[in-house]
């Protein structure tokens, strides 16, 4: 069984980044996990940054994610929240509770400071940036990750995208080192 990683809301909001992460999961490189609360945060954030999007379109994407990864939606995490201590900000305890209940090894997030290493290590978890996570996946199977990015470009038709376009979007979405790594492989 592949290792499990909770995808925090902040790495699921940028479409290019979410597509790459989900493509890697689809390729069998890891098992994605999330909770209903994480998806609610994604929905809220997407509608805040892209108010022109119809809520039904965002809902359809989240539904498609759950349908594509039938075992990704973690339930029953709520009782664990009160026993988790992360530091000064308790807002992300639900993410850690999701990781614990889902049997994850990692939390992929853009906010590493919200998941202090001592607290995470004590729970048998670690937090990792999306950039480092994707680089780790590329180290595990560079051919698979290159195929993920190529497929991501190939399925975009409105407007059509090249691999270079996808890599530029990924760099803007917070994974510049991964984008540079893939660009070096492609060239």
CATH number, domain of 83, equals 3.40.50.1010
Residue 11 pLDDT > 90: yes
Of 134, 159, 177, which residue constitutes the final position of a domain? 134
5 close to 107: Cβ distance less than 8 angstroms: yes
Domain range spanning residue 57? 4-134
Shared domain for 106 and 179, answered yes or no, is no
The count of domains in the chain is 2
Alpha-carbon gap, residue 18 to 2, rounded angstroms = 19
Of 134, 152, 173, which residue constitutes the final position of a domain? 134
Shared domain for 41 and 100, answered yes or no, is yes
Alpha-carbon gap, residue 28 to 42, rounded angstroms = 23
Shared domain for 158 and 90, answered yes or no, is no
Mind listing the pLDDT tens digit for each residue in 28-76? Answer: 999 999 999 999 999 999 999 999 999 999 999 999 999 999 999 999 9
């Amino acid at each position: 069984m592949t290792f499990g990683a909770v995808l925090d809301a902040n790495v699921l909001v940028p479409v290019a980044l979410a597509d790459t992460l989900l493509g890697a999961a689809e390729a069998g490189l890891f098992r994605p996990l999330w909770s209903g609360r994480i998806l609610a945060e994604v929905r809220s954030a997407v509608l805040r940054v892209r108010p022109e999007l119809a809520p039904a379109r965002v809902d359809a994407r989240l539904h498609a994610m759950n349908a594509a990864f039938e075992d990704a939606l973690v339930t029953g995490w709520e009782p664990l929240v009160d026993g988790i201590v992360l530091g000064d900000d308790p807002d992300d305890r639900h993410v850690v509770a999701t990781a614990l209940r889902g049997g994850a090894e990692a939390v992929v997030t853009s906010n590493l400071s919200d998941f202090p290493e001592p607290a995470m290590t004590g729970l048998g978890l670690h937090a990792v940036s999306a950039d480092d996570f994707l680089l780790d996946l590329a180290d595990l199977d560079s051919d698979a990750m290159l195929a993920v990015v190529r497929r991501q470009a190939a399925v975009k038709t409105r407007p059509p995208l090249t691999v270079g376009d996808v890599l530029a979007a990924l760099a803007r979405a917070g994974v510049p080192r991964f984008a540079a790594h893939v660009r070096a492989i492609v060239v």
